[in-house]
Structure 1
Amino acid sequence: MKWKGRRQSSNVEDRRGMSSGGKTIMGGGILGIIILLVNVFGGENAQMITPVLEQLNQGQNQPATEQRDLTAAELEEQAFVKTILADNEDVWSRIFQENNLQYKKPNVVLFSGAVQTDCGNASSDSGPFYCPADQKVYMDLTFFEELKTKFGAQGGDFATAYVIAHEIGHHVQTLLGTSAKMRQMQQGKSKAEANKLSVALELQADFYAGVWTHYNQQMNNILEDGDLDEALSAAHAVGDDAIQAKMQGRIVPESFTHGTSEQRKYWFMKGYKSGDIKQGNTFEELGLY
């Protein structure tokens, strides 16, 4: 991916130089307790885990922090994230303006180990997620190594860009009111029906990641050979069916919260090919309204 030499966003908080002596609230790696609630690419579902996180946090000490200098590799990662966030800001500001709307820029928080959010505390086991309460994306970048080693994704810088764009997609859903509407629709539904609505929300975030790629390619000519394959490999690796088959040896469709590998790849590519946010009504196409 071609990313160097462009504008970098000032809306990145890098907390990786902060170490804590306090306890993290979760364990068991990337498929620990958090994945039952948020799954990989936590998304808007992060808001729903707040009561559980608060319960888990009872009686735990607030961590005391110490500051260290970031390494050269960490500074390079920071520059990459700042550039990708700036690209998202530019693309979504343009799309919102074209639709007579105003885009409010979110922050991205980089952390190591554990982090405090307005949706509760979380550990690295949560994977990247968006917290609608503070409108921030939280990422421990070690996730991307686990994405390759544990889930078999191809890896690469554009895989990381896809994940960031997916989480920014959840921010777009918050600004447009889609997330709030989805939560209202989940009220009174069975677990299986509520999960279907969650799947639609997540697939739409994948679609928005594709839309971002479409516009960013037009604006900045970012793509190199293999970049789309990196994104599709990441999308395939975190499909509910792929994760369940790998981790538990069986697939339970009614428990899906993010969509199958094929669905995730399809909606990302639909967004990329069309560049039209009006074609991303996953709820209607899945027959949910």
Structure 2
Amino acid sequence: MTFNEGARMDSGRVSVGGGGGGGGLGGKFAMGGGAGGLIVLVLALLLGGDPGSLLGGLSGATDPSAESPGASLEGCETGADANRDVDCRVVFTVGSLDSVWGQELGAQTGTDYIPPEVVLFSGAVNTGCGNATSEVGPFYCPADSTAYFDTSFFQLLVDRFGSSAGPLAQEYVVAHEVGHHIQNQLGDIGRAQTDPRGADSAAVRTELQADCYAGVWAHYADTLPGPDGGPPFLNTLTDTDIQDALSAASSVGDDRIQQSAGGRVNPEGWTHGSSEQRQKWFVTGYRTGRVDACNTYSARDLNSPPALR
């Protein structure tokens, strides 16, 4: 349990099924190698980045008319609903993220926060970056400023990648995607495509920064008031909660995924960073609450964030 049971918000903040305009970036970039399947999809797209390199080019991609909408969100009204239902948990995490970034982004950077669109889907979805299936995992599309989630992915994190099943593990995933939206607002998300692969690449730095932004959210989520001066969305976070988030971050490190695929650890193929790096940059954001502490692009050593030295 992480949400204040008395917290309330409009479930209409998050859409079900469908998505932005089609076409977009699908098929623009080639996908190389013969390692196909879920591991490659997760490695390339899990928790952000520019999905245009694969969306629409996947063998499993479908026409948007084949979309299957997710469950109704009509029952997502209180924090108690979020504590019992995974779809409601995404809704309330988005509400918490809106609350934190709505207060902190402008105060820290001078850029007013513009909330992203958020879509829950099941099966397939049409986006501004092309068509995608649930196999792609959660992703953020810069072309339509929308984060997309199939919540069945959270169980996959547990079953396939060994993540904790705790609620903050799931909330971390949502916060990471909204972290990419913050990068989009600040003009940084395009850096990933300029240097898309390697242990010290801009792609890795982009992903680690989104992890750090997720930590910034966690720093404030249990203290900043909710809408209209109401209680914070989250109850006071415990060490167990933070360990849940760190478990999720670790489970999707490039080295961990390469090992789970039965291959050797090859930093030259990294796009998201190692398990240890992902944890460290989340902790950097969590301990400092500072956007400027998340400047991965200027960090000399991604294994040692300046704020943790």
Both proteins in one fold, TM over 0.5 = yes
Distance in 2 (alpha carbons) for counterparts of 1:261 and 1:127: 18
- Structure 2 residue matching 1:251: 3-state secondary structure: coil
Match for 1:266 among 280, 284, 301?
280
The answer for the alignment partner of 1:11 in structure 2 is 13
User: Residue in 1 aligned with 2:151?
Assistant: 141
Task: Report if the CA contact (8 A) 2:168-2:242 is conserved.
Answer: yes
Pairing of 1:123-134 with structure 2 (within 5 A): 123-134=133-144
**Conserved 8 A contact 1:46-1:131:** yes
Take 2:205 and 2:96, find their aligned partners in 1: how far apart are those partners? 25
Residue 166 (structure 1) shift? 0.3
After superposition, residues 244-283 of structure 1 pair within 5 angstroms as: 244-283=258-297
Query: Structure 1 residues 182, 145: CA separation in 2 closer, same or farther (over 3 Å shift)?
Result: closer
1:232-258 CA-to-partner distances (Å, cap 9, x unmatched) read 111111000011011123111110000
Deviation at 1:54, TM superposition (A): 4.9
Alignment gaps of 5+ in structure 1: 17-27
- Work out whether 1:196 is the aligned partner of 2:164: no
| Deviation digits for residues 61-80 of structure 1 (CA, Å, limit 9, x no counterpart) | 55356779749999833322
Unaligned runs of at least 5 residues, structure 2: 19-35, 225-231, 303-309
What is the SS of the residue equivalent to 1:121?
Answer: strand
The answer to whether the 8 Å contact 1:2/1:223 transfers is no
Q: Please tell me whether the aligned partners of residues 122 and 150 of structure 2 are also in contact (alpha carbons under 8 angstroms).
A: yes
Correspondence 1:30 to 2:31: no
Maintained 8 Å contact 2:208/2:281 = yes
Aligned pair partner of 2:105 in 96, 119, 128: 96
* Preserved CA contact (<8 Å) 2:256 2:275: yes
In the other structure, the counterpart of 1:63 is 65
Shift of 1:225: 5.0
Looking at secondary structure, tell me which structure has more helix per residue.
1
Q: TM-score normalised to the size of structure 2?
A: 0.77
Alignment of 1:162-201 (within 5 A): 162-183=172-193, 185-186=194-195, 192=198, 196-201=201-206
Shift of 1:157: 1.1
CA contact (8 A) 1:44 1:170 kept: yes
The separation in 2 between residues aligned to 1:68 and 1:240, in whole angstroms, is 29
Residue deviations 1:83-142, cap 9 Å, x none? 110110011111123133211111211111111111111111111100011111111111
CA deviations 1:220-241 (Å, max 9, x no partner) are 2442451111101111110000
Q: Percent identity?
A: 38
Partners of 1:2 and 1:224 within 8 A in 2: no
Structure 1 vs Structure 2 CA RMSD? 2.9
State the match for 1:80 in structure 2. 89
Name which of structure 1's ranges 91-100 and 102-111 shifts more when overlaid on structure 2.
91-100
* CA pair 78-35 structure 1, distance change in 2 beyond 3 A: closer
What SS class does the counterpart of residue 148 from structure 2 fall into? strand
Taking structure 1 as the reference length, the TM-score comes to 0.82
Residues 110 and 287 (structure 1 numbering): CA distance in 2 closer, same or farther, change over 3 Å?
same
Give the residue type in structure 2 aligned to 1:90: S
Correspondence for 1:21: none
- SS of the equivalent of 2:118 reads strand
Q: Which residue matches 1:159?
A: 169
Q: How many residues are paired up?
A: 267
